[in-house]
Structures are given as structure tokens and as C-alpha cells.
Amino acid sequence: MKQLLMNIGLNENETKLYLALLKIGKGTIAECVKISGLPRSSSYSAIKALIDRGVIAEISGKPARFCCLPPKEAFQKYMDARTNEIDRLYREKLEKIEDEHKNEMKHIKEISPLYIDELIKQAEVIYDEEALSIDIDRDVMLLRGEKVAKKFLDQFIVKKEAKCISTLPILFDERQNPAFRKEIVKQLLKFGIKQKVIIETGMLDIPYLVEAFRIDIEAVSFKHLADPTIRKLMIMDNSIAFVGVRHNASPEEYISILVKNRELIKFLSYGFDTLWNKAKPVTIELLDEKLEKIKSAGEQT
């Protein structure tokens, strides 16, 4: 992607800064310097140039933050502006136009669209899937999209204990077959990992979830609440926590928070324990009863 950016007119510093900002979503000048590896003075110049080109924007505040604009709209407007500028020069200096302007005009109108299409394709993948970071390598990160949340979840391994709240089946993928789930249960039992999961009561009426709970219950302690209050939560070994904050949204717009601050995790853990004490147990007998009712309802219809 670096060469594509330079092909459409960005210099090396602007390219490094844009790629760094595209990766982190939003960032202060200090964060941009850290990720891009550019000197602070060069980063300021690159940011100003990228704002002028219309591909990034400044978010007011103390400190100010910068973010990439949606690649498709931003680069199309950028190329339209460049084309219009060359057209203006061409019209003004039609009689005296230099060969370099003719060559540039040909590059902009004939070759650059090919670069732009590929650049937009690559940039949108990163723009859509990367984390939107409040503070890089700090105590709290804001994650945009279910893909990002799952990617971060996969980076952490529970060693001793996990506490979870789920009001939607994000923790239980219907595509996971029983053999896979049984293998996970074996691993949990083998390493003595304790898991407490609070589910929304309504999840006990969803057939594939009840079947998944029936397998998992050998290694997982389940309880249910009609309204857990905290909609989505996972605490791992009292050192990492994920909290869902935007629920009724598309997978791309789903927002969650990654927490590494120990004091905040203690607070979240206290909230979980309070709900756990209020919740009702999910037993094998209850799950079997639910499965039988689901089966009977299906036969009647």
C-alpha cells in the first residue's frame, strides 16, 4: 500500500503517517510519532499535508487527535481535486504548457484510477477491521466491530478463571460442532480452568445454544438472569476484561472496550459477583427439560 500512496502523490513522510493512523484509527501526535517512527517535526508537516489533501481530519480536544476519513470517499475527492487542478492549469496555460504537465495529466487521468481502486480496496480492509484506540498500550482501548473484538479475544488465554456475561450468542458460535466443543471442555477440565457464565434467560429457548450449554456444563458453571443489566462482559484471570457497550448494532458497528486497568477490573468483577449471587442456576436437568420442550414444540408444528 505504501507504493500505491506514493504513486498518487503522497510523499514518504505523508505515506508513513497515513499508514500509522490508518492502523490505529485515531491518535494524538505522540501516538502517530510512536507508530510511524517519524520525528515529531516531520509528523506535524505530514499531518498538515494530509489534512489539506482531505484524507485525514483533526478531532478537537486536549490533546488534539487525528483520524483517517473513510478511504473510498476521501481518495475519490482527493483525486477529483487533483484532476480539477491539472485541468485548471491546462486551461490557463494551454499555449505554454510544459511537457511535464502533459505527462502529469496523463498520469492522473489514465493511470492513477488504477492505483486508487487498489488503494481503496486495501485501505478499507484496515479501516473497517482495525481497533479504534483511545490510548495505545494503555489501560483502556475502544474496539470497533465484532471481528476486532474476536481478534483481540483470541490473543488472550485464560489460565485460571474466567467470568462472563452474555445476552446474545456471541460466546457460543452455532458453527462450532459438538466434537469441537467437547474438546474444549476436555481442555478446561485438564488444566483446571474455572468458568462462570451468566446468560440471559431467553437464551435457554434457543435450540443450538441449549445444546451447546448441555456440552459445556461439564466444565462451566452457568446461571441465568432475565435482565443481567451488564449486557456483555468477560473477565479473564482478573487481569483483562472486555465490556460490550453498543449492542443493537451491525457487526461492523459493534463497540466493545478492552480493559487492563486493575482497579476498573476489580469494580467490574464486583459487579459480576453481585449479579452471580442474584442469578438462578442452570442445571443439566433444566437444560434437558428445555431440550424436551423444544423437541415437543417442533413435533406439534
Domains of the chain plus CATH, in order, are: 2-129 (1.10.10.10), 140-300 (3.30.870.10)
User: Rounded to two decimals, what is the model's pTM?
Assistant: 0.55
What pLDDT score does 222 carry? Answer: 93
pLDDT-derived band of residue 191, with 50, 70 and 90 as boundaries? confident
pLDDT-derived band of residue 111, with 50, 70 and 90 as boundaries? low
If DSSP codes are grouped into helix, strand and coil, which group holds residue 45? helix
What pLDDT score does 90 carry? Answer: 66
Cα 297 vs. chain centroid, distance in angstroms? 39
223 pLDDT above the threshold of 90: yes
